[in-house]
Amino acid sequence: MKLSVIIPTLNEESYIARTLEEVRSKARPGNPHEVIVVDTGSTDGTTGIVSGLAGVKLLRPEACAPGRGQGLNIGSNHATGDALLFLDADTSPPEGYDEAIENALADPNVAGGAFEFALDGPDFIFRVVEAINRAHYRLLKLYHGDQGMFVRAGLFREIGGFPQRGILESYYLCRLLKQRGKLALITKEMMTSPRRFTEGGVYRVIAKDLQIWLIDFMGWSVDRFADHYWEENKERGKSAHK
């Protein structure tokens, strides 16, 4: 199996080098098949770091709508692998992640899946956040973007890729995939940065997430929350130059 890893970036100079190093070091020799970084308008040193690394394809689309979805779709259009792994720039994959994906997709009934969600830090409140997230995605089988979602490349293109949404694009991809097969949950942990919780206030972020999940569950639009997430990412670039 040829695995293409696709990473979206927007002002990720603090994380991207480590993530790219671990994408290689935690896979089997010669894997993954390719690594594609799609930068959606960084104003910090992200693109300079990526362009200086061998074996990484950097895409800088001139126009990219807010949100992860369009950037990931652009990256998938350039991917040549049999399977796609969508990885956040501040997330560390587990050891042997490539083999775990291959094993999951060995079942022809599996359309895609994700890894276990985990936060990088010892604080007890992070374990609470993990428990809330795990209960949510295990109950609904709707995975989060920072869980390292993977999918068969051909199927991903058949269903049109990520829906054009500014937020919860991974949920809506899961809903499409569930119509075509099973979604696997790999129990290895994708370790993501807790910065969204530490910078926004853990309890405030938890409350906001629960609000968004409830509104979406009721079938109402959550698009109004998308601009806030996009602006948070942009602010990282501004603060880097203060």
Query: Which residue range forms the structural domain that includes residue 73?
Result: 3-239
Residues 89 and 16 sit within 8 Å (Cβ to Cβ): yes
Whole-number pLDDT of residue 239: 47
Whole-number pLDDT of residue 241: 44
**CATH code of the domain covering residue 80:** 3.90.550.10
Tokens of 207: 């409350």
Whole-number pLDDT of residue 69: 81
- pTM tops 0.85, yes or no: yes
Q: In a structure prediction context, what are the per-residue pLDDT tens digits for the chain, which is 242 residues long?
A: 999 999 999 999 999 999 999 999 999 999 999 999 999 889 999 999 999 898 999 999 876 655 678 889 999 999 999 999 999 999 999 999 999 999 999 999 999 999 999 999 999 999 999 999 999 899 988 999 899 999 999 999 999 999 887 778 898 899 999 999 999 999 999 999 999 899 889 989 888 888 888 887 888 777 767 666 666 655 655 444 44
Angle at 102 between CA 101 and CA 108, to 5 degrees: 105
Number of domains in the chain: 1
Whole-number pLDDT of residue 72: 93
Whole-number pLDDT of residue 227: 65
CA distances from 91 to 4, 15, 34, 86, 215 (A): 16, 8, 18, 11, 27
Residue ranges of alpha helices (H) inside the chain are: 16-25, 46-51, 68-77, 97-105, 124-140, 153-158, 169-177, 195-200, 202-217, 226-239
